[in-house]
Structure 1
Amino acid sequence: MAEGGDVGPGAMGTGGDEDLEVFMPEDAEVVADLEGQASDSEEDMDLEELELEGALPVDDVLDCERDDARACLVACEASGSSGKDPEPPKPVYAVKWNPQDPSMAACGCGDDRVRLWKPYHSEGANSITLEGHEDTVIDVDFDATGKLLASGGMDGRVLVWSAITGELLCALEGPGEAVEFVSWHPAGRVLLAGSEDMTLWMWNVAVSGDEAAQGGCKAEGQCMQVFTGHQAGVTCGGFTPNGKLVVSASIDGTARVWNPRTGECQHTFAFEAKPSQEGAGGAAADEGESGNALVSLSFSHDSTMVMCGRVDGGAHVASLAASRVLFDLSEHKDSVESVAFHPSGQPFVATGSLDGSLVVWDANTAAPRVTCAHPGGVIRVQWGDGAFVYTCCLDGRVRRWDARSGQCDREWQGFVKPLLSMDVSPDGGSVVASSDDGTARVFSLAAA
């Protein structure tokens, strides 16, 4: 994935099918758009503006010197009746780029809604609000064609939408409690979801009609498998890149490998506990999770390995082919919230932790190559072009690190609350991140 150039209005939207243009009706919601307002990196923003019109108490506002965003979606604004202090805006929990259209992103929000967003759409409204959930939307994912969007929420529902029109195509019933993640098969319209009720569900989503026509498309979801065996909530999982296996990770401390055709559990990885450290797993302990709970997962590009991160600061790399643990990574002192194999198969893996560190490991020796310190917990790590690793942090900033030197060569600001999610665009031209402050922001990755 080559690093993109300027991703302004003229550059975005060229990577996808022309069919994927979002239908924007005249009454579509108009959201904040910073077109033409990208701030000079040397200009400080007015702190009063950063407080979202008084919605956030000054004490809760993070230190923010400027706003580097090329576009901003105010997804969840503060609310309150006249004469009363407004309630804080709801968080934006999940963001994801469309894999076929780098001008389109989706957001899952704490106000029970999904936003379909074209950040640089300059003629009229640039977002559609999708309503159908009855509780917080935890995760969103586009299918491989970029034409379908799935969302999962704390209401236990999984909804499938048209990414072209924003129309709700079908609701997939099954999970009895909150849905923790949704993930499409890499090559087909098969959808996987993991739930707090200890199960995973897999549906085949059949679509009929004209996908590009408003109201002309229908979908039906048929349950193909229910994977049972975990003894606590399923936190993360997905299909291997070749689509042949399903792997799930759980609060019960195990990762299970499933045959998607038969529903059989082919192997269970029960990783060795990390030696006790003072302060390890503090965040999880507050939530009642045990230190061996698994909270993050990633696959190698060739589908032969899986890596899992734990609440106690441990991480593990296992062979799916040999069904054995290859090595343990024990550098972190708090929950490993995000793990990532290098996407092109180079022998590097990255882990990000609530202890404020990004560690890049040599996958051949299981030794740390570089450790990159942050002023707050690291929520997500994602590889970009070459040796660059991106992180989003509880201090409200997105950073790019050189995995060879451990140096931070770029930093983007604009949020006034901790970050919750991040995704690098498929064309490598931009990054979208979301925050507790009720906004999502897009930053250009072009050279400053």
Structure 2
Amino acid sequence: MPCAELWSMSNPSSPSSSSAQYQETLHQQEVANEDAGIVVPGAASDDAELSPPRCEWEFRLAATVPSTSLPGASDAIGSVDFDPTGRLLATGGIARRIRMYSVASLLDSSAAASGAGPAACICVPAKLSSVRWRPGALAGTVVGCGDYDGVVTEYDVERGMASWERDEHAGRRVWALDYAPGATMAVSGSDDRTAHVWDPRAPSAGWATARAGGAVLCVEFDPSGGPHLAVGSADRRAVVYDVRALGRGAVAWMDGHGRAVTYVRWAGRRVVTSAADGTHRLWEWGGHDGEAREVRSYSGHASARSFVGMGLWRGAGLVASGSESNHVFVYDLRWDKPIWVQPFWGAQLPAISTVDADVGGGGGGGFVSAVAWRQGGDGDLDDGALVAGGSDGALKMFTCQRRKAEEAAGDVDY
């Protein structure tokens, strides 16, 4: 489905005025902090005095991997994912390749300076919309992907070939793929308005189906191991299902976004959603049937037509976001304005049409199309790694470290 058609199902409108107002502030901050490479927004909203955003983190650019595409070709990155061990990074997009990188090599300053390349590359038959490492016993050795032909495939990294594939969405594009902890279940969301849940240990067996009012664009199992699945779709709604009884319908729903919901991420018992209305939103759900309560809305980044990427570092309560302004944004769940914004400059390709803009968007210039955090353990929450991929095929990795002056700030309540 062309992206223009997808967003038309969500009643497209112009980007929010908050994004436009933020640009002047952003420009001033970029000039003032260019040498340090850090941008910390100041108070830009009416409620800033009540809850001013503070950046308790120091971010540094660790590595840049330039695009290898030929002039006039597109290498847009649509999905990035760290493996459960945090040692490997996988990327996928419209170049029909799964590229795998050693995180240690990317973080090594000498390797980064020389332009670290992928440790392995697997050629695939179709454009990729989602790449996810399989957790559990096969962590770091098997990567799954969903593609534009409606097929879900798992690849053996060592052999560089497919282990199995599922073609159960009638050829309709698979937008999202996720695994439950331990790979006890897998789920794929598709243009056919369904999310299929199945056992990856027996992929050819039957599956359970959750249905939505529009194309299913994002899915995520509860990472704590609970029996819940979050689903977002082009009908502007995100819902939560109990995977033990998918046929009974959603147990909670999140209504409020003005356009298609493109990402869902669990934050403990809460859910963070992202949409093409230029906002991320935090929702609280009581664990029983009913409408979830919106706790906070986050704005500043630009997202009107594109999948700009959204990821959550659950332990630290930080949300990373791409933007059609070609910046990387980071939000703290406690505040509605970003705590850090970084330009994602690089060589730009010719304008991508709405038909070929495989990660969304179209029209001149590039944008940040995918982001992901390396998830640390409970005892490793002072240092993190953030990766961002661009519509021009470039990849950047940032490190973040909690500022020592803030170490005694106490517990954080999101």
1:319 to 285, 288, 298: 285
User: 1:185 matched to which residue of 2?
Assistant: 180
User: Deviation of residue 311 (structure 1)?
Assistant: 4.5
1:144 aligns with 2:135: yes
> Match of 1:234?
216
- Cα distance between partner residues in 2 of 1:231 and 1:109: 26
Query: How far did residue 401 of structure 1 move?
Result: 5.3
Question: Which of 75, 78, 91 matches 1:90?
Answer: 75
- Contact 1:116/1:166 (<8 A) preserved: no
Could you say which structure has the greater relative contact order, defined with CA pairs below 8 angstroms and 6 or more residues apart? 2
- Contact between 1:72 and 1:442, CA under 8 Å: does it hold in 2? yes
Separation of aligned partners in 1, 2:299 and 2:338: 15
Q: CA deviation at 1:436?
A: 0.8
Cα distance in 1 for partners of 2:199, 2:346 equals 38
Q: TM-score of the superposition, structure 2-length normalised?
A: 0.62
- TM-superposed CA distance for 1:435, in Å, is 0.3
Structure 1 position 385, deviation (Å) = 6.0
Over 3 Å counting, the alpha-carbon distance change for 1:247 and 1:381 in structure 2 is: closer
1:175 to 2:169 alignment: yes
Aligned residues: 308
Q: 2:150 aligns with which of 139, 152, 156?
A: 156
- Tell me by how many angstroms 1:201 deviates: 1.7
Aligned residues: CA RMSD: 3.8
- Name the CA shift for 1:234/1:445 in 2 (closer, same or farther; >3 Å): same
For the pair shown, the structure with the greater C-alpha radius of gyration is: 1
- Aligned residue for 2:191? 196
The alpha carbon displacement at 1:252 in A equals 2.8
User: 3-state DSSP class of the match of 2:203?
Assistant: strand
The SS at the match of 2:131 is strand
> Match for residue 116 of structure 1?
100
- Paired amino acid for 1:90: D
- What amino acid is the match of 1:96? D
Question: Residue by residue, what CA displacement relative to the aligned partner does 1:216-237 show, whole Å, maximum 9, x if unpaired?
Answer: xxxx623342314323211112
Letter of the 2:390 counterpart: S
Q: Deviation at 1:126?
A: 3.8
The equivalent residue for 1:425 is: 374
One-letter amino acid of the structure 1 residue matched with residue 123 of structure 2: E
2:313 & 2:271 partners in 1: Cα distance? 16
Residues 1:443 and 2:398 aligned together:
yes
Q: Distance in 2 between matches of 1:429 and 1:43?
A: 18
Are 2:308 and 2:369, in contact at CA under 8 Å, matched by a contact in 1? no
Find the counterpart in structure 1 of residue 248 from structure 2.
Answer: 265
User: Cα distance, 1:318 vs. partner?
Assistant: 5.1
1:69 is displaced (CA, Å) by 4.6
Q: Deviations 1:48-104 (Å, cap 9, x if unpaired)?
A: xxxxxxxxxxxxxxxxxxxx75333345512xxxxxxx314320111111121x231
Q: Residue 369 of structure 1 aligns with which residue?
A: none
Q: In structure 2, what is the Cα distance between the partners aligned to 1:404 and 1:317?
A: 13
The gaps in structure 2 that reach 5 residues or longer are 1-33, 38-59, 106-110, 348-365, 377-382, 404-414
In structure 1, distance between residues paired with 2:95 and 2:118: 19
Give deviations 1:21-55, integer Å, cap 9, x for gaps: xxxxxxxxxxxxxxxxxxxx8599xxxxxxxxxxx
Gaps of 5+ in 1: 1-40, 45-67, 79-85, 207-219, 275-280, 282-290, 330-348, 358-375
Using the size of structure 1 for normalisation, the TM-score is: 0.58
Equivalent positions of 1:281-292 (< 5 A) are: 291=259
Give runs of aligned pairs for residues 27-176 of structure 1, distance below 5 A.
42=35, 69-74=61-66, 76-78=68-70, 86-100=71-85, 102-121=86-105, 126-134=118-126, 136-145=127-136, 146-147=139-140, 148-176=142-170
Contact 2:372/2:387, CA 8 A, preserved across alignment: yes
Question: Helix, strand or coil: the match of 1:156?
Answer: coil
CA positional deviation for 1:191: 1.4
In structure 1, how many angstroms separate the alpha carbons of the residues matched to 2:283 and 2:250? 15
When you count helix as a share of all residues, which structure comes out higher?
A: 2
2: CA distance between counterparts of 1:316 and 1:409?
19
CA distance in 2, matches of 1:407, 1:108: 27
Q: Alpha carbons of 1:431 and 1:263: their partners in 2 closer, same or farther (altered >3 Å)? A: same
CA distance in 2, matches of 1:438, 1:267: 37
How much has 1:388 moved relative to structure 2?
Answer: 4.9
Q: Which amino acid counterpart does residue 392 of structure 1 have in structure 2?
A: G
Q: What residue number does 1:64 align with?
A: none
Change (3 A) 1:76 1:432: same
Q: One-letter code of the match for 1:426?
A: Q
What are the Cα deviations for residues 160-196 of structure 1, in whole angstroms up to 9, with x where unaligned? Answer: 1224554321112211200010000113342110000
- Given that residues 237 and 261 in structure 2 are in contact (C-alpha distance below 8 angstroms), is that contact kept between their aligned partners in structure 1? yes
Question: Does structure 1 conserve the Cα–Cα contact (< 8 Å) formed by 2:267 and 2:314?
Answer: no
1:434 aligns with 2:381: no
Percent of aligned positions with the same letter in both sequences? 16
Give the deviation of 1:403 after TM superposition: 6.1
Quote how far apart the aligned CAs of 1:439 are.
Answer: 1.8
Match of 1:248 among 224, 231, 238: 231
Find the aligned partners of 2:236 and 2:315 in 1 and give their Cα distance: 33
Per-residue deviation, 1:419: 0.5
The secondary structure found in structure 1 opposite 2:205 is strand
2:204 alignment partner in structure 1: 222
